[in-house]
Structure 1
Amino acid sequence: MTSRADIEVRPVDETGFADWNRALNTGFLREPHSSDEVIEARRKRFASHRLVGAFDAGRCVATFRSFPQELTAVGGRTVPADAVSSVTVSPTHRRRGLLSRMMEQDLAAAKERGDVVATLIAAEYPIYGRYGFGPATTTTEWTVDVPRSGLDARWAGPEDGGRVDLLDPEDVRKLGPELHDRLRRSRPGVIDRDELWWQLDTGALRFHGTWTEPFYAVYRSASGEVEGMVSYTVDDHWGDAKQPLNTASVRWLIAVSPAAERALWHYLCSIDWVVKVKSGGRAPDDLLPLFLPDPRAAAVTTQADWLWVRILDVVRALEARTYEAAGSLVLEVTDGGGLTGGRYRLEASEDGAGSCTPTDANADLSLEVGELAALWLGDESAVRLAAAGRVREERAGAARQADALLRTSRRPWCPDVF
């Protein structure tokens, strides 16, 4: 077995990309070698990203990627984030500290650059807490039993003067970015989508070996403004009695008004031959069930942690967001990674603005940096974490006060995977 010291962790350049891509596929249990077309598409997609690999005798055995990202905090401000992805270790090289070496280097560089947080989507839950990440959003998927929903099967369009139209991919690339930008300015947890994201989503750039064009539909208000858009696929399944049993699966649905959401969900439930609609990943308090005359027709089929956040700068993170009430709280933050631990006083004013400063005052609440990340976007409860022994009250009632300050009326949502 090669010793840890003999395994080199280093950036990946053009000449090493194909080998890095093979190791990436291996780690995710995909066919190891990609076609030249796919390799070139991925090379283009990752050209501006920070690629790192671990090499044993010249062969890539672990992969790591990070790239610049913008994450929306509570209140609509965005913060610069270090997005972490493509994390794999080949099965022959596990338990040798390769992930720790790559992660520690990346987080230190992100802190030096001035990123406020790091983010990732965790394939497995137990891995990332030891690096200071905490689950900051939850994803929920519903499956709608259309015949049971109570919707009128003869539905012909929105009743508010708006309309739903089908779109071609080139129209999505024109209209989608502006709509998504409006969404991400209004919903904590949403991340930015660059031009390449839209090219990949609409097939202009093929990231994988196969591509099936989805359907796209847009909702326009009575004034003609684009307020919602959906991408979906439909399978082809018929029962023994020649009855259609098709399922429409939503790839993504974004909207900036409840009217747009309602119209697009009703549209999906009105498609001929479709008897089930899978919602794709939504916020756990999504309005979908409430848009159905019978909300029980929407059954939760998946609910799990989604976006994980690692706070790199406590002061900037807490000052970037707004607060639900006025108040003051002293937090003792422990950071095993040594990047941003300390004691901080959070002051929130009546207008929702917050200030955060280091302090020597007695702590009200003590917590790990990963638990602070779980609270930062407003999704988790300090009272709940205290009951589980993951947050410690140094002053009676401090956890309840933290909830009054930090929790949000609507839960944060990250609609994307990266």
Structure 2
Amino acid sequence: MSRPAADIDVHAVTEAEFPDWLRALNTGFLREPAVSPEEAEAARERFASHRLLGAFDGGRCVATFRSFAQELTVVGGAAVPADAVTSVTVTPTHRRRGLLTRMMAQDLAAAKERGDVVATLIAAEYPIYGRYGFGPATWTTEWTVEVPRTGLDPRWAGPDDGGRIDLVDGAEVRKLGPELHERVRRAQPGAVSRDEVWWRVSTGVVRLGHNWTEPYYAVYRAASGEVEGLVAYKSDDNWHDKQPHNTADVKWLIASTRAAERALWHYLCSIDWITKVKSGWRGPDDPLPLFFPDPRAARITTQADWLWVRILDVVRALEARTYDGTGALVLEVADRLGLAGGRYRLEVSPEGARCTPVRAEGADLSLDVGELATLWLGDESAVRLAALGRLREGREGAARLADALLHTSGRPWCPDIF
């Protein structure tokens, strides 16, 4: 007989409970449940500064939840403190008992108390997180490039702009990557911070599974010698009838200039025996296809929602970003968890923004806090959401004004999964 949900304890995971928490995490993600001592030690290093919650039924972990400190870049280049949510699982035997709701409420309340402006996550399943006030704020696209069709010169032997591409090892990536990434993410709304452990995990110093194989790493240096791009990629070994049909699979690619991007993609398409390149997760308006004489060589193989955002502080969130236009809106924000709801007057111009809680004024737009998150980074259209019934106009033309103020010419993008 199942224990009542109230008898299942939700609390911060202790050191003694950590191996059982890892086993529950693996079970929830359909991985091999067993955790070796080496894997447990690697996970301890990776999660050392993270906040771990678990639900325990009779001393056994049956649900997992993890969050950690993060910075999120907003429109204009400012960074706001975020509560990054991940490792969310519920064991199949304990579904539909409100365990996720309890863990999420506890974590979001703590994040609000700490002063985090937003919470973030990458949603494995679309329908889950809207009920907690999250909304999809960025999208991602993956391309598969048919190399013979690109029209690139097969005799290409390196950049013609004075730059150069070199293969490096993981140690060099750990030296060069963090500074480059800081430059890239400060210029990209939707990008998030990477700590030292991220680089250690991504270069194999910290290994959380059995299947680690080292990628190839290539760095692009401009003519000045400055590092402007890095890519990590793997390849398969696929031959038919004595002909190569190999695929280069990009794990991540970051670049601070279009010249670096162009050179790295051209490099990947010039590798002997490579006939396809899988781009990995790119921004939905990434110029990748336009780097080729024949853009049709790159076909979209995946397009999906990516970074979800939950606004915890409406005033700080709306004041943190920049705006190209001038205008004012009164927003009625509904929040079923009671963390960020209320009525706010937003006044913006290219010089800055002011957001003030108000009571007397009628609302120009009424929307859920999740819909506000969807609009906040500039990717979605308020007019489209109004047509779908996902927000309501209190004043005619308010949705068009919201688009003029909030929408951005470049789309936000989060290069990371966490």
Give the TM-score of the pair, scaled to structure 2: 0.99
Structure 1 contact 324–407 (Cα < 8 Å) conserved: no
Distance, in Å, in 1 between the alignment partners of 2:204 and 2:268 is: 22
Q: Distance in 1 between matches of 2:61 and 2:328?
A: 50
In structure 1, the residue corresponding to 2:210 is in which secondary structure? coil
Counterpart residue number, 1:189: 190
RMSD over aligned CA atoms reads: 0.7
2:274 match: 274
* Residue correspondences, number: 416
Do the aligned residues in 1 keep the contact of 2:324 with 2:349 (CA within 8 Å)? no
Match of 1:20 in 2: 21
Distance 1:205 1:9 in 2: 29
2:309 maps to: 309
Q: Does the 8 Å contact 2:322/2:350 carry over to 1? A: no
| Counterpart in the other structure of 1:287 | 287
CA deviation vs aligned residue, 1:138-183 (integer Å, no higher than 9, x gap): 0100000000111111111111111111111110000000000001
* Offset at residue 381 of structure 1 (A): 0.9
Structure 1 segment 113-262 matched on structure 2, within 5 A: 113-239=114-240, 241-262=241-262
Q: CA deviation at 1:19?
A: 0.2
What's 1:103 paired with? 104
Report the equivalent of 1:388: 388
Q: Secondary structure at the match of 2:290?
A: helix
Q: CA deviation at 1:229?
A: 0.6
Shift of 1:350: 3.1
SS of alignment partner, residue 155 of structure 1: coil
Amino acid at match of 1:381: S
1:314 deviates by 0.1
SS of 1:405's equivalent in the other structure is helix
Question: Take 1:22 and 1:280, find their aligned partners in 2: how far apart are those partners?
Answer: 29
Shift of residue 208, structure 1, vs aligned partner:
1.3
Asked if 2 retains the 8 angstrom alpha-carbon contact of 1:35 and 1:209, the reply is: no
Return 5+ residue gaps in structure 2 as ranges.
Answer: none
Instruction: Return the alpha-carbon distance in structure 2 between the equivalents of residues 408 and 159 of structure 1.
Output: 33
> Given residue 226 of structure 1, which amino acid in structure 2 is its aligned partner?
V
Matched residue type, 1:62: A
- Residue by residue over 1:110-149, the C-alpha shift from the partner in whole angstroms, topping out at 9 and shown as x without a partner, is 0011000000000000000000000000010000000011
For 2:394 and 2:6, the matched residues in 1 are separated by 43
Q: Deviations over 1:254-275 (max 9, x none)?
A: 0111101100011001000000
2:324 is the counterpart of 1:324 = yes
C-alpha distance in structure 2 between counterparts of 1:145 and 1:270, whole Å: 12
Secondary structure of the 2:371 match is helix
| Structure 1 letter corresponding to 2:133 | G
User: What CA distance in whole angstroms lies between the structure 2 residues aligned with 1:362 and 1:156?
Assistant: 64
Q: 2:400, 2:83 → 1: CA distance?
A: 31
Is 2:347 the partner of 1:356?
no
CA-CA distance at 1:210 after TM superposition? 2.3
Identity %: 74
Shift in Å at residue 32 of structure 1? 0.3
**Is the contact between residue 56 and residue 62 of structure 2 (CA under 8 Å) also seen in structure 1?**
yes
**SS at structure 2 position matched to 1:399:** helix
Aligned equivalents of 2:256, 2:325: Cα separation in 1: 25
Structure 1 outlier segments of 4+, above 4 Å? none
Shift of 1:346: 0.9
CA distances 1:360-399 after superposition (whole Å, capped 9, x unpaired): 3111111000000001111111111111110111111111
